[in-house]
Structures are given as structure tokens and as C-alpha cells.
Chain A
């Protein structure tokens, strides 16, 4: 059974600081996703990481994937208040030749304070 673990689950940061969210998963997977969720809203896609060593950046967020270590990181640079949200990683389970489905971590609730 695939398990996806995120840490930390809660993160309170000051504006301007850097921090990293970690996402570990228990079995081999094809791809990994990062999503953002604002309170009461749906999921907003941030990154799709498709191969070992993949790195993607958008603004103050950078995501990377190490498939050998079964680890993805979401790095936040010089945090601003607008980044306050819950961040989820999700691993795509590919059941043999069939389409996969997403297994989610529990999310990291990020609060950026002035």
C-alpha cells in the first residue's frame, strides 16, 4: 500500500524567510504533484514532477523530485503573506497498465506572518 507522508503538517513562517516542505512516499511511482488549497476552495495545481532529478520553479516556490530517495521537496523562498495556504503533495499510483490515481499526503498548513 502506498503511503505519502508530508512534514511538517503545520508551518508558521515570518515574511522574508525560507523554508522547505518534505514529501516522502513508500513505493515506486511515476510522477508527483504539488497542489495549493485555500480555505474552502478546490485544489490549484502548482507542479507536476515526472522524473528523477526534476526541478520546477514558479515565483517563490521550487519543487524537486528524487525518485531513488522517494522524496520530493517544496522550497519557499522569501515567503510573503499571499503564500499562506495548505499545500498537498500527491503521488500517482499506476496500477500496471491501467490509469493511476492520486494518493495524497495530509497537507502542510502554511501561515506566513508579517
Chain B
């Protein structure tokens, strides 16, 4: 079955360390997204990508970086510049407009904790 796979499920980061969260989809979706969720809050957009080799900053991109070298993959790196990275990170994907599917598919999430 198609879906989005996020790994790892739990991740611990030391101060000053960069870490990378994986997001892979086999849905043949064009667009991919990264959201951050803090306790008791809604989701906020970090980065999104509509096509390979192109991506756009969302509302809270500072301290994060992404790449989109393959359609299936959209990894997120949390850099040492992100001072408060402890949060739940969700990856999502969707088809291009006009393809009849308006739904977003979400991964199971990665919980990142600074130790």
C-alpha cells in the first residue's frame, strides 16, 4: 500500500548538533511539506516543495534546511541554529492541482527532543 514513511519515530539531539529527519512517499505525489507541532498548538509550516529540486520557505523556516533531489524524498535537517527544536514533526504530501485528489497524506511523525 502507498503511504508516507517518516523515520525515526523518536530522535534525541544534543546541543549544537545537526540532525536529519527522513520523509519518503510512494504515492507519486508532487508536493511535499514539513510541519512542526508544539504541545497544545496547531501545525506550522516549515518548508514545502512542489517539484524536484525546488522548495519554498514556510512560516518558520529559520534553523531548518531541506532538499528535494528525488520526487519520493524530502528530508528535513534541523540545524544548530534552531534554538528550540523540541517538537513533533509531521511530513505531508499531495498531488498537483487538477488531478482530482484534494487530500493531503500525513506521515506518522517524528518526535525530536533536545537532551
Contacts and interface: CB of A to CB of B under 8 A. Distances in A.
Interface of A: 4, 31, 33, 40-43, 45, 48, 50, 88, 90, 92, 94, 98-99, 101-107, 109
A104 B97 contact: no
Given A101-B48, A107-B41, A45 B94 contact: no
Interface residues of B, number: 26
A101 B33 contact: yes
B103 A45 contact: yes
A90 B104 CA distance: 11
Contacts of A103: 45
Contact of B102 (A31, A88, A104, A105): A31
B7 interface: no
Nearest to B102: A48
Contacts of A42: 90, 106-109
Contacts of B58: 101
Contacts, number: 54
Contacts of A107: 40-42
B97 A99 contact: yes
Contacts of B102: 31, 48, 50, 92
Interface string B86-103: 000010101011000011
B67 interface: no
Interface in B28-47: 30-31, 33, 35, 40-45
A31 B97 CA distance: 12
A99 B96 contact: yes
